[in-house]
Structure 1
């Protein structure tokens, strides 16, 4: 069954776009991508999960992809959590939340702070409360560069290659167009609101660490941390700290993957997720 595009009313009048697969009544799974990405960052994961009998909702976060940009540039963690709460409220049962980076932080805070039956299980993809400042800064620098866009998709591909020098360059740049949009000036821009990085309401790192740790202590559902073994964002120490906070959590290190685990090793990522979900069933 192919994925279909649906839209969800979220908080503050924002509408979120999503790829949806499977049928209502099947076990729900909500996928939340990282900052500066779109729902297409999951590769084959959403379609594979739908084929395996899950009701899959792969969201574009506010300000990203085909979702609305936030009025007043509200990209606070509270806004992302409220959006997720609105989507989960449409489901017949508590979902498994699978979140990468910003999406994982959103899922963790929501599962730890909202009602106890908010999530059936939690999968955190290369995100923990105590992340490495150098790796986070590397991501931030990439997102703040090229705010004036690109003259061509090849120029955008060059920027990605500089950011991810260890990832093999694809034979075609066609897939990259899913993360770009053409503006009236004819230039190509990343498919997210620049105010996510430059606006007045943003996530503050120190406060976020404390909030995520407090939320983690309240997580009582099965949890899986999927880390890219070559990640410069989540260290071994950061992973161990999360396991101390969530004693029932499992931990998978994906060989040959960095922070973009699903993009670097989609096969190994999907296998880890499917094994975890099979054990839940």
Structure 2
């Protein structure tokens, strides 16, 4: 069916091991395929601007909500440390989605989505991705930046009285954004509870999983996986990010010496949201560098 919010996007349900994921496809006849994986606590909507622009440029763009996020199913008993949310589940979901595409996709992964891409591209052979675009994430990250994100996610357990209150809190968290989110923009991010209050779209049990509680123990695994990546890589970082730094970027480039790195001067960790035009232009350039025939992509469709 066609998503009424984004008329060119086809929404479907994709079955994975134990649940279904919400998946949107733009320009289903396009090529190459870009598979977008969002960050922890986000939804596929984080990619709306980029996916729309890149589809207009000629790419087939696939976005999805990770398990426990947005319109995708939640894990039953997700708060149970044994049966709840674990990194291998998210990685398996992403591999299945990649394998279902008509060609090996270029993974565009932000934060958590990028970490999953690093693990899969490093450990799985043949690699299910043609290339990686990592969006403001490296195998080792700055703890303070991640703690700031988690503090915001944990700050409103009772939700919000209305959309205006939610918009105010998001504006305080993202002061670099000039415009506040409208009610229409917030609807996909919030759910109304039986008490009439609005709460985030993600399963609260996610905060109890090892993705949060033991995340830093994954860093050696991620570094080892990064050193084995043999597909083309573009790292796009935000100059104002508090999650990656010059130090973590340099470490990554030592592990993956063939990787390209571009720093976007006006972006924070929320690169695509802060600098979508610059972000999409860099993705088009990278895609064109992979295949001379990709010159057919209409780079002019991405605003200068």
- Encode CA deviations 1:181-202: one digit per residue, 9 max, x unaligned: 1122211111111111135775
Could you tell me which residue of structure 2 aligns to residue 40 of structure 1?
A: 45
CA distance in 1, matches of 2:236, 2:278: 10
**Contact kept? 1:132, 1:233, Cα under 8 Å:** yes
- Identify which range, 107-116 or 243-252, moves more after superposition: 107-116
What does 1:248-259 correspond to in 2, within 5 Å?
248-259=258-269
* Distance in 2 separating the partners of 1:105 and 1:127: 7
| Deviations 1:245-266, CA, capped at 9 Å, x for gaps | 1111000111111000011111
Name which of 218, 231, 234 aligns with 1:221. 231
Partner of 2:189: 179
Runs of 4+ in 1 over 6 A off after TM superposition: none
- When residues 138 and 156 of structure 1 are mapped into structure 2, their CA distance, relative to the original with a 3 A threshold, is same
Task: Give the number of equivalent residue pairs.
Answer: 280
Q: CA deviation at 1:10?
A: 1.4
SS in 1 for 2:77: helix
Matches of 1:23 and 1:102, distance apart in 2: 26
TM-score by length of 1: 0.94
Q: What is the CA-CA distance between 1:129 and the residue it aligns to?
A: 0.9
Instruction: Pick one of 8, 11, 19 that aligns with 2:14.
Output: 8
Give the aligned CA root-mean-square deviation in angstroms: 1.7
After superposition, give the CA deviation of every residue in 1:63-90 in whole Å (9 maximum; x if it has no partner): 1010011233232110110001111121
Q: Which residue of 2 aligns with 1:137?
A: 147
Report if the CA contact (8 A) 1:43-1:266 is conserved.
Answer: no
Q: CA deviation at 1:203?
A: 5.8
Q: Describe how 1:83-122 pairs up with structure 2 within 5 A.
A: 83-122=93-132
- Deviation, 1:174, is 2.8
CA distance in 1, matches of 2:212, 2:145: 18
Inter-partner Cα distance in structure 1 for 2:231 and 2:200: 35
Query: What does residue 88 of structure 2 align with?
Result: 78
2:61 maps to 1:56:
yes
Match status 1:146 vs 2:156:
yes
Tell me how far apart the structure 2 counterparts of residues 168 and 24 of structure 1 sit (CA, whole Å).
36
Structure 2: state its 5+ residue gaps.
Answer: 1-6, 79-83, 292-304
1:270 has 2:280 as partner: yes
Determine if contact 2:86/2:210 at 8 Å carries over to the other structure. no
Map of 1:30 onto structure 2: 35
Q: How far off its partner does 1:24 sit?
A: 5.6
Shift of 1:107: 1.2
